C-alpha cells in the first residue's frame, strides 16, 4: 500500500537520481555537458524536468520532461507529453520512489521502457 509523498521526498529522490544515474553518465561520456533535474510541483503530479547544461551552466534551451511523480502514491510515470503522464492503465507506471530500489526504473535520459 502506498502513501502520499511530500515534495521534500520527491526532491530527495531527484537528488539521488541526479547523483547516481545522470551525473556519472555525463562525467564519463560528455565531460563538458550535463543535465540538471528540477522539480515542478502541480496539484496531483510533480513534473521532473531535465535541463541541459554546458560547462556547468544551465543553457535554458531544450528542456524536456524526465518523468512525472504521482504525489498521492509516489508512482513514477513515463511522460506522454509536457503536460501529462502516460496513464497507469497504459502501463505508464514504472516504479515508486518509496520502493527500496527506486532508481532502477530510470536511465540518464528518462524513465526506462518496459521489458517485453
pLDDT value, residue 62: 83
pLDDT value, residue 6: 93
Counting as low any pLDDT under 50, the low residues of the chain are none
Count Cα neighbours of 69 within 13 Å in the Cβ-side half-sphere.
Answer: 30
pLDDT value, residue 81: 93
Count Cα neighbours of 111 within 13 Å in the Cβ-side half-sphere.
Answer: 26
Task: For residue 103, count CB atoms less than 10 angstroms from its CB and return exposed for 0-12, middle for 13-18, buried for 19 or more.
Answer: middle
Amino acid at each position: 500500500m502506498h502513501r502520499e509523498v511530500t515534495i521534500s521526498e520527491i526532491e530527495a529522490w531527484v537528488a539521488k537520481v541526479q547523483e547516481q544515474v545522470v551525473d556519472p553518465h555525463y562525467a564519463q561520456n560528455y565531460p563538458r555537458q550535463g543535465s540538471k533535474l528540477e522539480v515542478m510541483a502541480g496539484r496531483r503530479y510533480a513534473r521532473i524536468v531535465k535541463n541541459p547544461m554546458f560547462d556547468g551552466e544551465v543553457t535554458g534551451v531544450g528542456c524536456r520532461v524526465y518523468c512525472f511523480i504521482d504525489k498521492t502514491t509516489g508512482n513514477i510515470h513515463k511522460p506522454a507529453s509536457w503536460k501529462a503522464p502516460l496513464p497507469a492503465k497504459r502501463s505508464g507506471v514504472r516504479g515508486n520512489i518509496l520502493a527500496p530500489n527506486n532508481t532502477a526504473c530510470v536511465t540518464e535520459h528518462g524513465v526506462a521502457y518496459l521489458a517485453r
